[in-house]
Structure 1
Amino acid sequence: MSELLPLLLRGTLVTVQIAALGTLLAVVMACVATAAKLSPFAPLRWIGNVYVEVFRGTSLLVQLFWFFFVLPLPPISISMTPFQVAIIGLGLHYGAYGSEILRGALRSVPGGQYEAALALNMPALTRLRRIILPQAMINALPPATNLMIELLKGTSLVSLITLSDLSFRARQLDQATFETAEIFTLTLVIYFVLAQLLATVMRHFERRVSHGYGIARGGAK
């Protein structure tokens, strides 16, 4: 274990980097797609719907292969490193799911909240920042946490595009040492620990958001 663990930790660092950057891109894409789908302009709604349906309706593994093997071919000829492909593939794929979570959370805010904000002549951005988003975030955070954990586990697929993440290192070590049980058990433990750390951080964030909103709502009363 003392020899295997440092090598697996190198792969774990790559996995954490991919998961973090992929999550950031997924959050951006979720916000952009949600704004497009809720736009009053039909072309923007169409673009948002196409993005969400394409990336939700196709396999993540095939998407990674497409970005890695097809984009470099003529006439497209866009070449990316495996690291870039991993971040873009994961971000776009899970951003489509995140868009639906965010859209549902925004729809869950009672209509009376919108009407009250309009009655107070609040500008649209102020209405969104102070009234809508705080309530929507409370509903969005639990499913968003699950989605982030799914993204973390989905990073294991990037080993198939030659990226030396945790899964790639585990397979390398297995082929070199034939210590299959020890290597993959340790790999499972590392993924589990990462997922639990992520869930703990998100639960803490969720409590803070809920508590802050409760204080604000109590002060308003």
Structure 2
Amino acid sequence: MDFLIQRLPLYIDGAWITIQLTFGGCALAFVLAMVFGIMGTIRHWLPRAISTVYVEVFRGIAALVLMFWMAFALPQLSGFRLDDMFAAILALGLNVGAYGAEVVRSSINAVPKAQVEATVALNLSWFQRTRLVVLPQAWAQMLPTFGNLVIELMKATAVVYLIGVADLTAVAQNMRESTGETVVAFIGAFILYYLIAQVLIFGMRMLERRANRKLGRTPPRGKSLKSLAQSTPVGSAGGTF
């Protein structure tokens, strides 16, 4: 225990790098997922083809190999070297964004066709029906899988030390090599990774509840199920979309 307490500032520094990598990678992955996921639902063949190429290429490449490419191969080909942390964020975002794009595409396609047809009957533009009707419903379906992808991205940051980023795993590895305390060194990393994951899980669950509440799929805060049942007429549909 004294070992961990004495070296806690180093672990905190490593955890902060891990958090930055996680949020940076998630931000990039989210943007890519939304752009290419929506492109995958457009009827025209060109945006669908571009989306398919991105998804198939970056979903089929291991994140670690992509990091090595960004950090070591790209400088040799272009003569321009990326910052190690930026290279890690870019690789993680490109990789996880490809998985996220499929989540977005499938969630949008799962929105009932009757509602999309109703927006067409109301003469809404593609942008209006996507923003006002399709995405709010698809968003609630995306979030559970997005939550899993966020956790997977956070865990994938554990290999960034291989390209020179001093993250939490790098700190634990340096501690092991300098002190020989393998078990204790990695217990510190174990605990901090777990705590970071729990915070991310909690945040994603809050987003899920908020999205479902907006769609009327969960009872509003402060009202019980019994009171809602008593206020709902017999035979009426519970919930709106």
Say yes or no: TM over 0.5. yes
Most deviating of 8-17 and 76-85: 76-85
Counterpart residue identity of residue 204, structure 2: M
Deviation at 1:7, TM superposition (A): 0.6
Equivalence for 1:139: 141
- Partner amino acid for 2:206? H
Aligned match of 1:167: 169
Could you list the per-position Cα deviations for residues 89-117 of structure 1 after superposition, in whole angstroms to 9, with x for gaps in the alignment? 01100000000011111011010010111
**RMSD of aligned Cα (Å):** 1.9
Divergent runs of 4+, >3 A: 217-221
| Partner Cα separation in structure 1 for residue 107 and residue 84 of structure 2 | 34
Q: Which amino acid aligns with 1:113?
A: Q
> Residues 1-221 of structure 1: matches in 2 within 5 Å?
1-74=4-77, 76-214=78-216
The gaps in structure 1 that reach 5 residues or longer are none
CA deviation map 1:148-207 (0-9, x unaligned): 000000011111100000011110111111111111112111111111110001101110
Cα distance in 1 between the residues matched to 2:50 and 2:117: 29
Conservation of the 8 A alpha-carbon contact between 1:4 and 1:183 = no
Query: What amino acid is the match of 1:20?
Result: F
How big is the shift at 1:6? 1.2
| Kept in 1: contact 2:41–2:108 (CA 8 A) | no
Q: Distance in 2 between matches of 1:160 and 1:19?
A: 16
TM-score by length of 2: 0.86
Highest Rg: 1 or 2?
2
Give the total of aligned pairs: 220
Whether the aligned pair in 1 keeps the contact of 2:37 and 2:103 (CA below 8 Å) is no
Distance 2:54 2:35 in 1: 11
Question: 1:44–1:220: structure 2 CA closer, same or farther, 3 Å change rule?
Answer: closer
Closer/same/farther in 2, CA of residues 172 and 78 from structure 1, 3 Å limit: same
Structure 2 Cα separation of the partners of residues 220 and 142 of structure 1: 20
Higher helix share: 1
Greater length-normalized contact order (CA 8 Å, ≥ 6 residues apart): 1
* Gap runs ≥5 in structure 2: 218-236
